[in-house]
Amino acid sequence: QEQLVESGGGSVQSGGSLRLSCVVSGYTYSRYRMAWFRQAPGKEREGVAHIDNDGFRNYADSVKDRFTISQDKGKNTLYLHMASLKPEDTAMYYCAASRTWCSLMVPDCFTNWGQGTQVSVSS
């Protein structure tokens, strides 16, 4: 059974950086689309970025030019490098996988999810 395990969250000050990792295990890292989502308390889950098997990337406007999604297929690992962090980036961050053209606007389309890693940014 496929498992997604996130790590790398933590507490940082505004303007700081973090790198999140998501290790995929269970079978070959060959998802069509991998993504990062986040959810802050009292808010809906929000798509942050996705990357396709061919390397195509897409970002939410709120993180564009600050966050970078990448993947290491040899290590079955997805990354999210976050720079210039703001207090409004505080949330639980989840990685997710889909075999189809799922939109960041439709979290339910992604079929596999990790348990999340907490990111807290203080001002």
% of the chain with per-residue pLDDT over 90: 83
Give the model's pLDDT for residue 45: 97
Select the more confidently predicted residue: 74 or 82: 82
- DSSP-assigned beta bridge partners for residue 70: 79
Average pLDDT, the chain: 93
% of the chain with per-residue pLDDT over 70: 96
Q: Which parts of 3-116 are beta strand (E)?
A: 3-7, 10-13, 18-25, 33-39, 46-52, 57-59, 67-72, 77-82, 91-98, 112-113
Cα 25 from Cα 72, distance rounded (Å) = 13
Give the model's pLDDT for residue 29: 54
Judge contact between 17 and 82, C-beta under 8 A.
yes
pLDDT (tens digit per residue) in 45-66:
999 999 998 899 999 999 999 9
DSSP per residue over 53-70, as a string?
TT--EEE-TTTTTTEEEE
pLDDT (tens digit per residue) in 3-38:
999 999 999 999 999 999 999 987 655 667 999 999
Give the model's pLDDT for residue 28: 58
Give the model's pLDDT for residue 30: 63
Judge contact between 24 and 4, C-beta under 8 A.
yes
Identify the residue whose tokens are 């993504």.
Answer: 35
Provide φ and ψ at 115, rounded to 5°: -90, -15
